[in-house]
Chain A
Amino acid sequence: EPEVTQTPSHQVTQMGQEVILRCVPISNHLYFYWYRQILGQKVEFLVSFYNNEISEKSEIFDDQFSVERPDGSNFTLKIRSTKLEDSAMYFCASSQRDPKIDGYTFGSGTRLTVV
């Protein structure tokens, strides 16, 4: 069964450093998302991406965050200057058809630890 692939599975970074989290969505999918889950808390929406542009972003997704789909297969989340509170599990997700009806498939996640 096709999977959404995320790398790395675990990233440790120093506060203030830039990190790039990578995702390879399922190949014929058109809708892409990033969510995060702080330990013990809810899964929170960060950003949605469709037709090569951001379609919606949350209040969390401030100027320190950016997304890119550089080559038609990868979908990346960049955090420019990490803070301690960015420590969380980051999930990429993708959907082929209307996600309002079909939902989407999540990747296995990247655990980001900011020290």
Chain B
Amino acid sequence: QKEVEQNSGPLSVPEGAIASLNCTYSDRVSQSFFWYRQYSGKSPELIMSIYSNGDKEDGRFTAQLNKASQYVSLLIRDSQPSDSATYLCAVNSGNTGKLIFGQGTTLQVKP
């Protein structure tokens, strides 16, 4: 069974701090990885994708991938209260674009 694991949290950080969200996956052949943000009662919204080892930056967000350790992370710099949401790690499985999602980490950014 292919799994994606995240700490459900909540992760609480003060406004302006760096939030660090982590994810591990079990399928060693996975090629691409995604972070989605989901506000309560809403649909997932794509934040970033990454498929090469190392860091990928987009504005305040940095995704990090380490395929050897089967580990993906998301850093959010200068966290804002509006960043408070559940962050879903998703791993591509196979050739059809199917995603396997983690449980999600709830982030709370306190003013």
In the complex with contacts A33-B97, A45-B98, A101-B43 CB distance below 8 A = no
Interface residues of B in 21-42 (CB under 8 A from A): 31-32, 34, 36, 42
Chain A residues within 8 Å of B104, by CB: 42
Shortest distance from the beta carbon of A27 to any chain B beta carbon, whole Å: 19
CA separation between A23 and B95, bound complex, in Å? 23
Count contacts on B: residues with CB < 8 A to the other chain. Answer: 25
B100 at the interface (CB under 8 A from A): yes
Chain B residues within 8 Å of A56, by CB: 94, 96, 98
CB nearest neighbor in B for A56 = B96
Q: Is the CB of B94 within 8 A of A101?
A: no
Chain A residues within 8 Å of B44, by CB: 43, 91, 106
B51 at the interface (CB under 8 A from A): yes
Q: Which of B31, B36, B42, B100 touches A100 (beta carbons < 8 Å)?
A: B31
Residue among A33, A41, A43, A104 facing the most chain B CB atoms (10 A cut-off): A43
Q: Is the CB of A100 within 8 A of B92?
A: yes
Chain A residues within 8 Å of B36, by CB: 106
Q: Is the CB of A100 within 8 A of B88?
A: no
B17 at the interface (CB under 8 A from A): no
Q: Is the CB of A101 within 8 A of B51?
A: yes
Q: Is the CB of A42 within 8 A of B46?
A: no
CA separation between A85 and B80, bound complex, in Å? 37
Chain A residues within 8 Å of B102, by CB: 42
Residue among B32, B88, B98, B102 facing the most chain A CB atoms (10 A cut-off): B98
- What 9 A-B pairs are tightest by C-beta distance, nearest first? A99-B97, A56-B96, A43-B101, A106-B43, A48-B96, A55-B96, A103-B46, A103-B34, A100-B92
